[in-house]
Amino acid sequence: MKSILILRDRPSRPMSYVIDHYTLCWKNAGYRVIDHIGLANLPVADVVIVHIDLTVIPKEYVDLINGLHRVINGKILDISRQQFSQLLLSKTDNYTGPVIVKTNANYGGVLDCQYTPFLSNTIHGKRLSNKQRLHIFRLFLFKSIIKNRFLQILNKWDTIESLNPLEYPIFQDIKSVPNGIWKNDNLIVESFISNREDGLFYAHYYIFFGDKELSGRIGSPNPIVKFSNCVSDEEVPVPNEVRQWRKDLKIDYGRFDYLAVGDKYFLIDVNKTEGGGDMNYMDHKYPDEMNLLASGLEFYLDSK
């Protein structure tokens, strides 16, 4: 029986990531799946899947990963927007259109700024269970969201560490961007491409695992298009340029969000630990598509 080890940096709610759904598929296919949190006492397995939900993989995890034989997503170490965004702007650019403010970190930076408590399994010498660690994480996360929301209301942009990724601020032009944003290394400014048709905003997605892939276009009345607010979802071909992004970033599984304007494509988000939730966005297609993507594991198990 082949064994798959999923290396995580923190506990999470059941089925809150796509990898959790893949795990069910693998178990049903007869694989042994091991969940492991942290650096210590890593079990031996045929393949290790890196599931570190941080923008930049910490050095201590990189050192561990480099010592392993067969690793999935072991080379995608930094998904900060400064690394891949084609839409970045500076304060002195001549761009005259609307702009959007995001965090340089993935998913609004809300997970990265709460990383420290999970480097240790103990607090004040007492060992913590995964349930206790998850509770602490939620508490820190809630406090961070409230704190940064107030900073935004008070226009203290230069001290903000995270933003709600569903509500990234959109400004009319570069001149309208508060000066504190330009001073804040946690934030970036991008040109806002309004890919709009018939009253809906559109974005594309590309989901992949090994040699398996699927791609689609979702539409939403919200200018920040997400699966959680979309009202349409249609299958579209995968452009070769988008596949090339995957090669350049050395990512084995995950999801890209991108915009298509004419024959040009703009990568706007890279996900290597895609959220799953209840998977409503997959609708009736969910089981078949999950099974297809999960079968991409065989690409790595069969490789030398």
pLDDT tens digits for range 189-248: 999 998 888 899 999 999 999 999 999 999 999 999 998 899 999 999 999 999 999 999
Instruction: Write down the residue that tokens 């069969």 correspond to.
Output: 302
Mean pLDDT taken over the chain:
87
pLDDT, greater one: 163 or 74: 74
> What's the confidence (pLDDT) of residue 211?
96
Contacts of 247 (CB under 8 A, 6+ apart): none
Kindly indicate the confidence band of residue 137, based on its pLDDT and cuts at 50, 70 and 90: low
Residue 252 confidence (pLDDT) above 60: yes
Contacts of 16 (CB under 8 A, 6+ apart): 275, 276, 277
Percent of the chain with pLDDT over 70: 82
Kindly indicate the confidence band of residue 267, based on its pLDDT and cuts at 50, 70 and 90: very high
Is 39 within 8 Å of 61 (Cβ atoms)?
A: yes
Q: What is the DSSP string of 24-52?
A: HHHHHTT-EEEEEESSSSPPP-SEEEEE-
Report the length, in residues, of the chain: 304
Percentages helix, strand, coil for the chain (3-state, rounded to 5) are 35, 25, 40
Burial class (CB in 10 A: 0-12, 13-18, 19+), 59: exposed
> What's the confidence (pLDDT) of residue 84?
95
Give me the mean pLDDT over the 36-64 stretch: 94
Residue 304 confidence (pLDDT) above 60: no
Residue 4, token pair as written in the block: 């798959």
Residue 276 confidence (pLDDT) above 80: no
Query: Which tens digit of pLDDT belongs to each residue from 9-25?
Result: 888 888 889 999 999 99
Using DSSP's 3-state secondary structure scheme, residue 254 falls into strand
Residue 8, token pair as written in the block: 């995580």
The bridge status of strand 126-127 relative to strand 71-72 is unpaired
Percent of the chain with pLDDT over 90: 65
Residue 56, token pair as written in the block: 């930049």
> What's the confidence (pLDDT) of residue 280?
45
Burial class (CB in 10 A: 0-12, 13-18, 19+), 258: buried
> What's the confidence (pLDDT) of residue 167?
86
What is the pTM assigned to this prediction?
0.87
* All structural domains of the chain with their residue ranges: 88-191, 195-280
> What's the confidence (pLDDT) of residue 284?
35
Residue 131 confidence (pLDDT) above 70: no
| Annotation: CATH topology of 195-280 | D-amino Acid Aminotransferase; Chain A, domain 1 (3.30.470)
The C-alpha atoms of residue 257 and residue 210 are separated, in whole angstroms, by: 18
Residue 181 confidence (pLDDT) above 90: yes
Query: Which tens digit of pLDDT belongs to each residue from 87-125?
Result: 999 999 999 999 999 999 998 888 887 555 444 454 444
**How many other CB atoms sit within 10 Å of the CB of residue 63?**
10
The C-alpha atoms of residue 67 and residue 75 are separated, in whole angstroms, by: 13
> What's the confidence (pLDDT) of residue 164?
84
> What's the confidence (pLDDT) of residue 195?
84
Kindly indicate the confidence band of residue 140, based on its pLDDT and cuts at 50, 70 and 90: low
> What's the confidence (pLDDT) of residue 142?
60
Q: What is the DSSP string of 147-193?
A: HHHHHHHTT-GGG-----TTS--EESSGGGS-HHHHH-TTEEEEE--
